[in-house]
Amino acid sequence: MDLPICKNIKKLRQRAGLTQRALASLLQVSVQAVSKWEQERSYPDLTLLPAIASLFGVSIDELFKSEE
């Protein structure tokens, strides 16, 4: 299943000027976890979605929104 959340996290992270390491630290996950999300090899845990959305100032729905 191709979910746009992976691309959106990467785009939002870059827009915020954060490294993968900085994002990982803020979310208290490993750098490897963030890397896997951005490479679409895994998805963030559901419990992290509110924190990710809040960090970037978007809704959870926007994390899943496709650019199409």
Could you read off the pLDDT of 31-42 as tens digits, one per residue? 999 999 999 999
pLDDT the model gives residue 1: 56
Mean pLDDT across the stretch 46-59? Answer: 97
3-class SS at 31?
helix
Please report the domains of the chain, with CATH numbers, ordered by start residue: 5-58 (1.10.260.40)
Predicted pLDDT at 2: 72
Residue 59 pLDDT = 97
CA nearest to 45, candidates 28, 65, 25: 28
**4-32 pLDDT, tens digit each:** 999 999 999 999 999 999 999 999 999 99
Percent of the chain as helix, strand, coil, to the nearest 5: 65, 0, 35
Q: Residue 68: what pLDDT? A: 61
CB atoms closer than 10 angstroms to residue 38: 18
